[in-house]
Amino acid sequence: MNMPELPEVETVRRGLTRLVKDATIDHVEVRYPKMVTPDSDEFTAELIGRHIDAIDRRGKYLLFRFSGGVTMVSHLRMEGKYDVQPEGSPVTKHTHVIFHLTDDRELRYTDTRKFGRMQLVPTGEEDRLMPSLGKLGPEPTEDTLTLDYMVTIFGKSHKVVKPFLLDQTKIAGLGNIYVDEVLWLSKINPLTPADDLSREQLITLRKNIIEEIKMAIHGHGTTVHSFSTAFGEAGQFQNHLHVYGREGEPCERCGTIIEKIKVAQRGTHFCPKCQPLPAAAIEALGND
DNA sequence: ACCTATGTTGGATC
DNA sequence: AGATCCAACATAGG
């Protein structure tokens, strides 16, 4: 299972930097044209002979910086993956774009569900030409996600906190797994309206978001279900999921059975005892 | 075999 | 503007 939230995308970025930074594109093969913008003829023509200067990331987006002022914005969506193979090694039916490099290697994009997208834009124009990129909220780091900003945006919204945190224009990079995790860590019920959170709760939530993302990046974005197997693996730090995918299991803090509900069409895991709904929110629900 | 679930985003419809 | 639902697609599991 690949889980491309921010830490996973950052891990991909670092891997690609190590493997293909300073490589040069010989030619590009697009096997599933819907995946690329502009159309595949232009897309492939535009990339011939370009050098990969750098690979950047913003939120869950990868930005391939090519020579000559061209950037490829790539989003992995649910299941997109990059890998690098020797020229001509067998491809799977889910390999949709192949970047043939001049050094007899291939950078391949594979995506079972075909949700991923890649688009070429002039470097520096990506925020203007791609609104989803331009409107991204701050990165979840100590320096960029300030408490003042948290207090301001949460105070302005009645939206419940789970979809609020999934909104990339508020904070960039959080996905379904890490949102459930940080809400559990912060003892906040996923149905709590954003503007019901106290300053103290926002301080806790902010700290947990920043810490969780940092630790997940440090763990190479590897989120594993089993904590016991992760421990004892020599030299390997792996992340531990406290609630995601653990419905029916006892909460690690209090032993109460973890529940799974739907919130804004997304599977949502929480501990009903550690993460109680505030009385005000229960009343609001009762009025439906 | 049928129905539901799945990490994400963006568009349509109210 | 904001919420709500659904679409893109393939596969796994009950």
- CA closest to C1' of B10 belongs to A132
Using the CB atoms, write b or e for A257-288: b if 16+ within 10 Å: ebbeeebeeeebbbbeebbebbeebeebeeee
A225 CB neighbours strand C below 7 A:
no
Which of A5, A8, A10, A126 is flagged as catalytic? A5
Give the pLDDT confidence of A144-181 residue by residue, as tens digits: 999 999 999 999 999 999 999 999 999 999 999 999 99
- CA closest to C1' of C6 belongs to A265
In the residue annotation, A135 being an active-site residue is answered as: no
A113 marked as binding residue: yes
Of A112, A144, A11, A120, whose CA–CA distance to A65 is shortest? A120
pLDDT at A4: 85
Domains of chain A and CATH, by start:
6-134 (3.20.190.10), 147-286 (1.10.8.50)
Give the pLDDT confidence of A262-287 residue by residue, as tens digits: 999 999 999 999 999 877 666 655 54
A176 CB neighbours strand C below 7 A:
no
Enumerate the nucleotides of strand B whose atoms come under 7 Å of any protein CB: 5-10
> Containing H/E element for A61?
strand A61-66
Which of A253, A266, A272, A273 is flagged as catalytic? A266
In the residue annotation, A4 being an active-site residue is answered as: yes
pLDDT at A223: 54
Give the pLDDT confidence of A208-235 residue by residue, as tens digits: 999 999 999 988 776 543 333 333 332 3
pLDDT at A219: 83
> Containing H/E element for A43?
helix A40-47
A94 marked as binding residue: yes
